[in-house]
């Protein structure tokens, strides 16, 4: 009987700990990313700015692209996606329309393929059949995706000119123009 009672209290303590952790992260408006290096906006949202991790990835032509190259110049919309994701495919026309409305000198769009389930060859073939009017980067080892805490795709992150995240969501931002300031 003591063993059952102890297990019951152990389970109860574990559930209590999980609840406290969730509530604490919700109230603080922050959660720590997997690698502990990046503080991400909480699921409930926050107005505080989070520094976007710098990265360097190659585009489909082999040219290196660094996020920090845009710092001080213009905002960047990061679009994390995969060829096998139906919601990512659904978002492409919105991104193409945004590219028509906003010049790359005002806001850059970088499509970051998360790498999982895709190969570089598959992404290149996909791009040939469904060209995107913005650079496509390939995150082969998923390092950049992990540093941004990508858990579901598509994921849209807008990084302002100062290098801070000002928008994060799985839905296309309602009014991306407001982040051009």
Task: For residues 41 and 150, give the distance between their C-alpha atoms in angstroms, rounded to a whole number.
Answer: 12
pLDDT band at residue 35 under the 50/70/90 scheme: very low
Residue 6 confidence (pLDDT): 54
Give the pairing of strands 50-51 and 164-169: antiparallel
Q: What is the mean pLDDT of residues 90-98?
A: 96
The predicted pLDDT at position 25 comes to 36
pLDDT of residue 26: 34
pLDDT at 120: 96
Better pLDDT: 178 or 23: 178
- The per-residue DSSP string of 37-62 comes to S-EEE-TT--SS-EEPPP-EEEBTTS
Q: How far apart are CA 52 and CA 70, in angstroms?
A: 12
Tell me which architecture the domain covering 33-180 has in CATH: 3-Layer(aba) Sandwich (3.40)
CA separation for the pair 154, 162 (Å, rounded)? 24
DSSP string, 119-134: -HHHHHHHHHHS--SS
- The residue ranges of every structural domain in the chain are 1-29, 33-180
Instruction: Give the torsion sign (CA, 73, 79, 80, 84).
Output: negative
Q: Mean pLDDT over residues 88-95, rounded?
A: 95
For range 84-91, the mean pLDDT: 96
What is the pLDDT of the chain when averaged over all its residues? 81
- pLDDT attached to residue 20: 38
**Residue 16 pLDDT class (50, 70, 90 cuts):** very low
To the question of pTM greater than 0.75 for the whole model, the response is no
Whole-angstrom distance, CA of residue 19 vs CA of residue 105: 45
Residue-level pLDDT at 99: 96
| 17 pLDDT above the threshold of 50 | no
Segment 110-160, tens digit of pLDDT: 999 999 899 999 999 999 999 999 999 999 999 999 999 999 999 999 999
């Amino acid at each position: 009987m003591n063993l059952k009672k102890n297990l019951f209290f152990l389970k109860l303590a574990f559930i209590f700990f999980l609840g406290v952790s969730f509530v604490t992260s919700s109230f603080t408006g922050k959660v720590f990313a997997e690698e502990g290096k990046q503080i991400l906006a909480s699921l409930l949202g926050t107005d505080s700015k989070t520094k976007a991790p710098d990265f360097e990835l190659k585009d489909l032509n082999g040219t290196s692209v660094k996020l920090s190259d845009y710092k001080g110049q213009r905002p960047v919309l990061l679009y994390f996606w995969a060829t096998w994701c139906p919601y990512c495919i659904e978002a492409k026309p919105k991104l193409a329309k945004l590219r028509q409305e906003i010049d790359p000198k005002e806001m850059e769009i970088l499509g970051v393929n998360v790498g999982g389930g895709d190969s570089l060859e598959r992404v290149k073939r996909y791009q040939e059949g469904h060209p995107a009017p913005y650079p496509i980067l390939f995150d082969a080892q998923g390092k950049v995706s992990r540093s941004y805490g990508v858990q579901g795709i598509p994921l849209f992150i807008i990084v302002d000119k100062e290098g801070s995240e000002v928008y994060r969501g799985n839905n296309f931002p309602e009014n991306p123009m407001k982040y051009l300031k």
